[in-house]
Structure formats: structure tokens, C-alpha cells
Amino acid sequence: MPSIVSHPAIPLALTPLLPDELRSPSIIFFGVACSVLPDLDVVGFRFGVPYDHPLGHRGLSHSIIFAFLLGACLAWLLPVVVQTPPTAHIRLVLFGFLCLSTLSHGFLDALTSGGLGVAFFAPFDNRRYFFPWRPIRVSPITLRGFFSKRGVQVLRSELQWVWIPAALVTTLATWLRLTG
């Protein structure tokens, strides 16, 4: 997986595309939270859940259906919480932003050099997938491993393959917003 510090790059890059009424710190926070939430499945290791189990690491919480359901639930609840008029358009844009923020986690993980792959189609199919091109170095799961030579290599890889492209998307989206 990319490290927890790189998953938020995607919702942050998408933020300039949000309409003014949704570009609030609260909505951005929920996008960032959705981008890192799938990795809560690592808690399963402590309870003996095997990596390749449907509820194991990169299983159901990394699936397309999970991203869809989480995005839909939050899009229904959040306008009330952040006091935004809950119009159909607002809910649809919010759903797209939160669903993409969540889904981006599995996509980034499928671009990494390690692990067993991502169960994109769980719970219907637990097969794990990687993309054919996997340029991102897999991040260590432990804090100690993260603060090692390998951790520095991972951060360098994430800077090149996640943060710089995300910054370019953000810059382009902001420029288009200001000129359009």
C-alpha cells in the first residue's frame, strides 16, 4: 500500500473541482478520511484474520461496493451535518467525491509493488488484483518500518507517483476554475 500520508493526495487533488458550497474544511476532511479508512482492515491482523480473507487486508474495505456504499451513506447524511442544502445535485456531487476518495485507496494499492493484490469485487469475488504497471513501492505496515531506509524509499516513490501528479491535477483544476 502507499503510506497513510499519500492516500489523502487524491481527495485533496479533487477538491478544486467541488462547487463552492462543498469546498469546506468539513467536506475535505471527510474526503481525506474516506481515502484512508480502507486500511482500518489491518486491525484484523491482531485478531487472526488472514490477509487473503474477504475481511483481511485489501479485502472488502478496498472494494468498489464498499466505496459506493460509503459514498452513498455519507452523501445522504453529510449535507445535514455540515448545514448545506441537501439538493439532489449537491448529494450527487458529494457522492462522487466521497466514492472516488474511497475508491482511490484500492487503486493506489493496486499500483504498488507488494502484497496480495486488491479484492475490487468483494464480497462477490475475493480474487485479488494488481494493475499491470506497479510503480509505487509498497509501504511497510509497522511504524518502525516506516521510519527506516525502506520507508524513505517508499516516500520518494510516493512523491514521484502520487503527490507530484496530484499537485499537477490540483494546479490544473484550480487554473480551470479561475479562468472558466
Question: Where are the alpha helices (H) located in the chain, listed in sequence order?
Answer: 9-14, 25-36, 43-46, 64-81, 88-109, 143-146, 149-158, 164-179
Q: Is residue 20 part of a domain?
A: yes
DSSP 3-state of 118: strand
Q: Is residue 4 part of a domain?
A: no
pTM over 0.85? The answer is yes
Q: Is residue 2 part of a domain?
A: no
Domains in the chain, number: 1
Q: Which value, to the nearest 10 degrees, does the dihedral of the CA atoms of residues 47, 41, 4, 11 take?
A: -160
Q: Is residue 87 part of a domain?
A: yes
- Name residue 75's amino acid: A
Q: Is residue 1 part of a domain?
A: no
Q: Is residue 3 part of a domain?
A: no
Distance CA 91, CA 76 (A): 7
Q: Is residue 103 part of a domain?
A: yes
Domain that holds residue 158: 9-179
Q: Is residue 99 part of a domain?
A: yes
pLDDT in 10s for each residue of the chain, 180 residues? 567 889 999 999 999 999 988 899 999 999 999 999 999 999 999 999 999 999 999 999 999 999 999 999 999 988 767 667 788 888 999 999 999 999 999 999 999 998 899 999 999 999 999 999 999 988 876 667 667 788 788 889 999 999 999 999 999 999 988 887
Give the distance from CA 21 to its chain's centroid.
22
Per-residue CA distances from 25 to 10, 73, 98, 131 (Å): 15, 19, 14, 33
What integer pLDDT is reported at residue 28 of this predicted model? 95
Residue 97, C-beta contacts closer than 8 angstroms, at least 6 positions apart: 11, 14, 17, 18, 22, 27, 31, 71
Q: Tell me which residue of 4, 2, 1, 9 sits closest to 101, measured CA to CA.
A: 9
